[in-house]
Amino acid sequence: MRFKKLLICMFVAVLAFNFTNAFALAAEDTTVDSQEDEKQEYSEADLRLLSALIRCEAQSEIYRGKIAVGIVVMNRVKSGSYPDTVKGVIYQKSQFSPAKTGSLETALEDYDNGKFTSEEEKDCIKAAKAALSGVTSITIDDEKVDFSKFLYFSGRLSGYKLKLGNHQFK
């Protein structure tokens, strides 16, 4: 019983810490912009799921690469051509391999157990918060790049429009 209470207290502490850092977006030469009239509220469940997916898909990418992955998910939610929820988009058949291979479930367990502690994992949470809050563009090398139309990313994507780190976007 004490162990269960301890776990619950640790989980609440992690949530409180993450909430207080919701807008602490940081990277060397990266800025992110959101559409002021499109700021969105999001649930802890969406933050948890998107953070875990970003860890699976882009943990080793630079911060702006992590945000870009989150933006693609949110673009799909808004598109009308995909499910209209973060969960629906991520678990849609044949869309995100971590949902199929089990690595997403492992990342979700790590998130739930307070194991998102490395700087890369903390950046995954920050990137998810940015994407869920409505960020649609990223400044890369002093150029503002609009990601609002990108619905796909991969390491090998034919006809891609932009390459960022190891991912190609279209």
State which amino acid sits at residue 147: F
% of the chain beyond a pLDDT of 70 = 77
pLDDT > 70? residue 83 = yes
Query: Is the pTM here over 0.85, yes or no?
Result: no
- Structural domain range at position 27: 2-169
Query: What is the radius of gyration, based on Cα positions, of the chain?
Result: 16
| Contact (Cβ atoms closer than 8 angstroms) between residue 56 and residue 98 | yes
pLDDT > 60? residue 6 = no
pLDDT in tens, 112-161: 999 999 999 999 999 999 999 999 999 999 999 999 999 999 988 899 99
How many domains does the chain contain in total? Answer: 1
Instruction: Work out the average pLDDT over 160-166.
Output: 93
What CATH number is given to the structural domain containing 86? Answer: 1.10.10.2520
